[in-house]
Amino acid sequence: MVTHELVRHRIGSYSQRSQRYVKENQAEFITPPEIAEEDSAKLALFNQAMESAWDSYRKLLEAGIKPEIARYVLPNACATEIICTWNFRELRHILKLRTAPSAQPEMRVVANLIQEILKKEAPKIFGDL
């Protein structure tokens, strides 16, 4: 879900691992902390949904369906990789929005990590954040 939040910022360049051209070989998904910290019944339900989606994906591939079509059954919780390129002005704007208390919790964690790195590596530009 974090990648969906990141690419909303138009002033930037993004390179993300493609589910269209890259077959997903392993069931890698992110469990939201709100579910991971809940009772085991909710976590079991979430894990069951993830496994069902991955099982369907594998079966579609085995049936000869192209990865770009089979990926429709994959959940938003899929782990992915992304490279983002922004200018300093846009990055400051992104950090202001994404570290705010109203930001999605998962996005806030990532934005805070980015902010701490930038404050250390470029204090003249990001030290006031």
pTM, two decimals, is: 0.60
Residue type, 12: G
Kindly indicate the confidence band of residue 60, based on its pLDDT and cuts at 50, 70 and 90. very high
Quick one: the chain helix, strand, coil %, rounded to 5? Answer: 55, 10, 35
Hey, which residues does 82 pair with through a beta bridge? 16
Kindly indicate the confidence band of residue 104, based on its pLDDT and cuts at 50, 70 and 90. confident
Tokens 């069931």, residue located: 27
Q: Using alpha carbons, select from 78, 59, 79, 61 the residue that is nearest to residue 69.
A: 61
pLDDT, position 12:
66
**pLDDT at residue 22 above 90?**
no
- Averaged pLDDT for residues 38-59: 89
Q: What is the dihedral of CA 21, 27, 28, 30, to 10 degrees?
A: 120
Kindly indicate the confidence band of residue 86, based on its pLDDT and cuts at 50, 70 and 90. confident
- Averaged pLDDT for residues 104-113: 89
Most confident by average pLDDT, 18-22, 68-72, 79-83: 68-72
pLDDT, position 14:
61
Q: Where are the domains of the chain?
A: 1-17+83-129, 18-79
Catalytic, 98? Answer yes
Q: Which of 17, 20, 98, 108 is catalytic?
A: 98
Token pair, residue 106, equals: 């998962």
**pLDDT at residue 95 above 80?**
yes
The arrangement of secondary structure in 1-17+83-129, i.e. its CATH architecture, is 2-Layer Sandwich (3.30)
